[in-house]
Amino acid sequence: MTPTTTIAIILLPGMDGTGELLKPLAERLSANRPTQIIAYPLDRPLDYDQLATFVSERLPRDPFVILGESFSGPIAIEIAATDARVAGLILASSFARHPLPAWLSHVASLLDLRWLPSNLFAAMIMGRMAKPELRLQLKDVLRSLPAAVLQARARDALRVDKRDRLAETTCPALCVHGSSDWLVGRRQIAEILAARPDCGRCELDAPHMLLATHAEAAAAVIDDFCRRLECN
């Protein structure tokens, strides 16, 4: 069946909020559809509700698919639960409820991801086979982020629970995750599927940051999801 429309996709970045690491994915997706990355402000910490408002003010007028990567999954869920223009929801390496114990939120203000050895941190979220240039890009992105912004986002991610809001969404949904993701595991996937039993699921042989490390494979999965919506 020939698609009757070409649907746009909105990409919401992970905790860094810059969207820099999503550019290779966006380039591939833009070959077939309008693609927009919405980066977050770096000059001030914004909580999940404030970021949802920030995103809402920058969305296109026509129907779109919204993708939330990791930290941004709860934002994408909130948008999908409130905006009738959302034609599809994709949660990539993400969660509806905090992926780590909530008590860690009390010490989030004492932590700084930039303290971790860059190679160790890159291996944790990108896998040991990540290209050197990608590891260097991650290091540069983290250096550009104010500590207060990172700490606020970590604190919010360790408190969030959008399972009820996810259950209220009615648009088609897809959960994309990596088989070697140490941060978002089986429990988080099960919680998403419990809230939305009809949610599709795609597991890639990839680490947490699969959208950056496996951009081509991820783009194929995302584009297939969008094409199915276009044909309905």
- What's the predicted TM-score (pTM) here? 0.92
pLDDT confidence band for 196 (50 / 70 / 90): very high
Helices (H), the chain: 23-29, 48-56, 73-82, 118-126, 132-143, 147-157, 163-168, 186-195, 210-213, 215-230
Give yes or no for residue 58 having a pLDDT over 50. yes
Mean pLDDT to the nearest integer, 126-142 = 85
Mean pLDDT computed over 70-87: 97
Distances (CA, A) of 220 to 69, 91, 104: 16, 15, 36
Question: What was the pLDDT predicted at 38?
Answer: 98
Contacts of residues 227-230 at CB distance under 8 Å and 24 or more positions apart, as own/partner, are 227/3, 228/172, 229/7, 229/65, 229/87, 229/88, 229/172, 230/3, 230/4, 230/5, 230/6, 230/7
Residue 158 confidence class, pLDDT cut points 50, 70, 90:
confident
Tell me: pLDDT of 117 over 60: no
Please tell me the predicted confidence (pLDDT) of residue 1: 42
- Across the range 214-226, mean pLDDT stands at 97
